[in-house]
Structure 1
């Protein structure tokens, strides 16, 4: 137990430090963005705010993952981070739209910016985002942390773009560069937000995980020795990296003691190939067509086998 807790605590410390640094930089970019009249810097504050939320979500996820399930929350708190990510992403879509509208106004009525101040603040941002990305990189084996690492890496690049923009304004005097940069940053925020919305909605609507093909799961289960047919198959996500499965499995008649081997084989295949950790499998045997709760053997069924199975799966309670 102690072995698991230590990397978790280290991860939480890194995430806490990242949150403090990012929050300080959000305030700095916003205040100096107003001072320098730079919409690109203000957009950068918005972009960094998205990073702050991403780090906060990872922190919450790391915390909640260690909390046990209860009688009220039988799956634990795995969806809390998903729900927060969805709300966060919707907020960011609104933010990116506001930045784009402001930028269009700026293009129509140019405002004089202070490129030197833009460059100084952005340079501090590159340093900070780069440092956080480096700290997180050590833990990037954890997929939750890897998503934040990529977020910070993208932010380091967009902040570097503000420095280049500041230099271009300084040498050419073309102030339209600033709103154009902010539109590019707004598009980056929008692009990352929409992918988060799609992913979280799929989880909240109990969709099949994007990394899992239902046909492949069915074939893998049917390849286990003793399994004749798999139907009423459902796969869904509990959290962003935790998958569950429920299914009816037809097996040939055999002593009860041998059924455990089939179940172990199914669970091992599902865990090793698809990272499915929570399974509910109901066995049905051939030669019991008349018994309620069993499906007729596949060889006795007509063309509409799938329809029959699917209907059967929902026609009785278990």
Structure 2
């Protein structure tokens, strides 16, 4: 529902901003409309990924389609970077070749954009623990910042008639957006190549497992993301050989319980002997 509301609000604004940009020959509004359109596309990608992720696993896709949420987050980051590149190119071009624009119209239209993007960003801020919601939140927050810059540029142009102010502010905003996007790109890329998820320390996980009673060793520990909200683990665990098989199973259950508190939702543990772990 949050994604649908965000898509609807931003799509309406994109159409209004594009019409205003063409009517008043404002590259600032047209460029901002293009940026907002890329965000609408990103929200659609994320929404489709969530729908696909709900599909049940099969013989061919044993983990289901939850990984599509990771791919969607990576796609969102790339789309935003591409949008930044396009906006940066347009800003540099206009910096050397400024064109007269209606500063007042630019400021008013951009002010509406601030309101719409701020409302949308707040909706996703409440769910930003999930990577795609965080991506949407960053997209919309970036849009609000862009709109603030456009408002400032519009007011300044109205009173000074210095038209290079608009692209100059745009370049500053591009740097801010680039910094915020880099973290999203890094996290989603790490998830894509099955790196240890952000916020999880492998050594700490090993200590948690070793801390369970009757565990004497742990090896071959692997932790990765199976979606933007779920993590998995596999490990070889050495348990006191004096325990019965049923008691060893209870130790395994205790380990899994502890791992759930470490944000690891799916764990596969193999009982091993010390001699198997040597070398």
TM-score, structure 1 normalization: 0.79
Which residue does 2:277 correspond to in 1? 295
Q: Residues 209 and 235 of structure 1 are in contact (CA less than 8 Å); yes or no, is this contact kept in structure 2?
A: yes
User: Which residue number corresponds to residue 259 of structure 2?
Assistant: 270
Query: When the two structures are aligned, how many residues end up with a matched partner?
Result: 278
Out of 187, 202, 210, the position equivalent to 2:198 is 210
Paired residue for 1:118? 106
* Alpha carbons 2:53, 2:68 under 8 Å: kept: no
Whether the 8 Å CA contact 1:36–1:115 is kept in 2: the answer is no
Give secondary structure in 2 for the equivalent of 1:239. Answer: coil
Query: How far apart in 1 are the matches of 2:13 and 2:128?
Result: 23
Could you tell me how far apart the structure 1 residues matched to 2:137 and 2:89 are? 29
Deviation string for 1:61-109 (max 9, x for gaps)? 4423433222221111111122233233223323322221221121112
Deviations along 1:166-215, one digit per CA (max 9) or x if unpaired, are 11111111111111122233334433443332122111111111211111
How far apart are residue 222 of structure 1 and its match? 0.6
1:124-135 equivalence runs, <5 A = 124-135=112-123
Q: Unaligned stretches of 5+ in structure 1?
A: 1-11, 297-307, 309-318
Q: Which runs of 4+ in 1 moved over 4 A?
A: 134-144
> What is the match of residue 221 of structure 2?
233
Q: How far apart, in 2, do the equivalents of 1:102 and 1:127 lie? A: 25
In structure 2, C-alpha distance between the alignment counterparts of 1:203 and 1:141, rounded to whole Å:
15
CA deviation vs aligned residue, 1:281-316 (integer Å, no higher than 9, x gap): 111134xx4xxxx335xxxxxxxxxxx2xxxxxxxx
SS for the counterpart of 1:236 is strand
What CA distance in whole angstroms lies between the structure 1 residues aligned with 2:15 and 2:122?
Answer: 22
Structure 1 residue 47 corresponds to structure 2 residue 35: yes
TM-score (norm 2): 0.89
Whether contact under 8 Å (1:92, 1:193) holds in the other structure is yes
Structure 2, unpaired ranges of 5+: none
Q: Is the 8 A contact 2:206 2:218 kept in 1?
A: yes
- What does 1:48-87 correspond to in 2, within 5 Å? 48-87=36-75
Stretch deviating more after TM superposition (183-192 or 249-258):
183-192
- 2:245 equivalent to 1:256: yes
Separation in 1 of the partners of 2:103 and 2:169?
Answer: 13
Q: What is the aligned-residue RMSD (CA, Å)?
A: 2.4
Greater C-alpha radius of gyration: 1
